[in-house]
Amino acid sequence: MTLQLAKPAPPDDDKRWKMVEVTMRRSGYASHALIETLHRVQGLFGYLDEPAMNFVAESLGLPLSKVYGVATFYHLFSLKPQGKHTCVICTGTACYIKGARELVDGLRQKYGIELGQTTPDLELSAVGARCIGACGLAPAAVVDGEVLGNLTVDQLLARIEKVIHDAT
Ligand code: FES
């Protein structure tokens, strides 16, 4: 067993990292927990990006190259989308029941993209997540890191328009 002296800090104060930490702790931060941990990150955030993979690598005491290797080898993992802005829509059970589908439809109608796609101008990527740990706020989405709950299609689209507009 590896002695873990100081645990690395998560990339930011997003509460979902606590859930990722629980997954790693359950396995004693052992390296064999890598795939399960990446699954967890992807389930919560919708994709894997560099800060996430750094965090997982450091926490499990693995070289970053190993984490990238696993993340790119298995097709079930998707790396950070290409768009300047990211909208993660939770399609977990609670959110689905409360209208996640309408959110996905709204996104398709307005931007012409499905979950997992990026607009041709690279402004927006849409990603699906299985449960972002905010079921009480269903339907929920995360736009550029901000968790939004009890969402209507109009609210979601307005928020996306705002982040795109503010950045230009
Ligand atoms: S199902 Fe959407 S937050 Fe849990």
pLDDT in tens, the chain (168 residues): 445 457 899 999 998 999 999 999 998 888 889 999 999 999 888 889 889 999 999 999 998 888 988 887 877 788 877 789 989 899 999 999 999 999 999 999 999 999 989 999 999 999 888 888 789 999 999 898 788 999 999 999 999 999 999 987
CATH topology of domain 16-73: Arc Repressor Mutant, subunit A (1.10.10)
**Confidence (pTM):** 0.69
Q: Name the CATH superfamily, with its identifier, for domain 85-166.
A: Glutaredoxin (3.40.30.10)
Cβ distance 112 to 138 under 8 Å? Answer: no
Q: Is the CB of 94 under 6 A from ligand 1?
A: yes
Which of 88, 127, 135, 148 to probe ligand 1 with, by most ligand atoms within 8 A of CB? 135
C-alpha of residue 135 to centroid of ligand 1, in Å: 4
Return the residue matching tokens 């070289």. 63
Gap between the Cα atoms of 96 and 56, Å rounded? 29
Q: Is the CB of 150 under 6 A from ligand 1?
A: no
The protein residue whose alpha carbon is closest to atom 1 in ligand 1 is: 92
Return the residue matching tokens 């890191």. 145
Structural domain boundaries of the chain? 16-73, 85-166
C-alpha of residue 90 to centroid of ligand 1, in Å: 6
* CA dihedral of 150, 155, 157, 159, whole degrees rounded to 10: -100
Q: Is the CB of 88 under 6 A from ligand 1?
A: no
Q: Is the CB of 140 under 6 A from ligand 1?
A: yes
Phi, psi of 127 (to 5 degrees): -135, 145
Gap between the Cα atoms of 138 and 20, Å rounded? 20
